[in-house]
Amino acid sequence: MERGRKQGLAEAQVEVARWKFGEATAARLAELLGDIDDEERVLRIGRSLIECETRDELIAEVAQD
């Protein structure tokens, strides 16, 4: 994935996580996203942000993906 595109997607996802689940979740998601280079995986994480109802559910799904 183009680095600029990945960075933009990651920043947007972190902002959504901050709004939906709070600062601690956003910080953890930012850490996890830093290790991901696969565009499909980054897009799946965006979908997870919408579908997951709790912070724990989101972090578990992102960490295992």
Cα dist. 60→8, 41, 55, 64 in Å?
23, 14, 9, 6
d(Cα 36, Cα 20) in Å, to the nearest integer? 22
Start-to-end CA distance of the chain, whole Å, equals 17
pLDDT of residue 40: 86
Q: Tally the domains of the chain.
A: 1
pLDDT of residue 37: 81
Residues of the chain with pLDDT under 70: 1-2
User: What tokens were used for 64?
Assistant: 């295992």
Domain of 8, in residue numbers: 3-64
Instruction: Look at residues 60, 59, 65 and name the one whose alpha carbon lies nearest to residue 30.
Output: 59
